[in-house]
Amino acid sequence: SQQGEEDPQALSIQEGENATMNCSYKTSINNLQWYRQNSGRGLVHLILIRSNEREKHSGRLRVTLDTSKKSSSLLITASRAADTASYFCATGPMDNYGQNFVFGPGTRLSVLP
Amino acid sequence: DADVTQTPRNRITKTGKRIMLECSQTKGHDRMYWYRQDPGLGLRLIYYSFDVKDINKGEISDGYSVSRQAQAKFSLSLESAIPNQTALYFCATSDWGGLVSDEQFFGPGTRLTVL
């Protein structure tokens, strides 16, 4: 199965509400990244958190990382219709030389006006 | 201009045909990747290249081959296309952040349909 798996698979909220997505992984990681994908388009990097960090902010985004539970969460505050997209976590393994990121299947977020 | 470009953006072909998807980047990154995306499965790595002389198989390389013609160019070929290779294909690049790759920069994707 995937190294990173997002939860929930789909999320529908009203504009202005907060959206929380979770990512769980199996093996030790060096870093974890979150990406956004608008329908049918390329992925856009949102934020990277390293294994020695617990929380990181970028604008309306807040990412947490709990290495003991092998999980991360992405919080989008005050959501907007433009936040409607799929969100993916990607894990960079600890023994990474020669290896690469593994993407989860994604969470589809719908923000209703 | 986009940093990572892919051609073609859409392609419809028939079973058994040889297809080449091309990727070019202006970011100056050494590392380049090819992924395919199927509905509900996220992205799966096909091949990756850490420099011009380094090519590595990814998770799902069977039925595919690649060529790294230059630092800026990385092509993906389907030797004999089959319908289950119908998917959205993405090229990506990344820099070398010490021990691990940093963020990846994605192209706009190529939608390939094999009839």
- CB atoms B103 and A48 under 8 Å: yes
Question: pLDDT per residue over B55-84, tens digit each?
Answer: 999 889 999 999 999 999 999 999 999 999
pLDDT band at A1 (very low <50, low <70, confident <90, very high): very low
Distance from CA of A101 to the nearest CA of B (A): 8
One DSSP character per residue, B4-51 reads: EEEE-SEEEE-TT--EEEEEEE-S--SEEEEEEE-TTS-EEEEEEEEE
Distance CA(A63)–CA(A3), nearest Å, equals: 18
Under DSSP, the state recorded for A15 is: T
| Structure tokens given for B19 | 């297809």
- CB atoms B111 and A40 under 8 Å: yes
Interface test with chain A among B36, B104, B111, B113, by most A beta carbons within 10 Å: B104
Question: pLDDT per residue over A27-86, tens digit each?
Answer: 888 889 999 999 878 899 999 998 899 999 999 999 999 999 999 999 999 999 999 999
Q: Which residue of A has its CA nearest to B96?
A: A97
Interchain contact B10–A (C-beta under 8 A): no
Distance CA(B10)–CA(B7), nearest Å, equals: 8
- CB atoms A103 and B42 under 8 Å: yes
CB pairs under 8 A between A and B: 57
On chain A, the residues whose CB falls within 8 A of the CB of B40 are 105
Point out the residue among B42, B48, B103 whose CB comes nearest to the CB of A33: B103
Nearest to B11 by CA among B1, B23, B21: B21
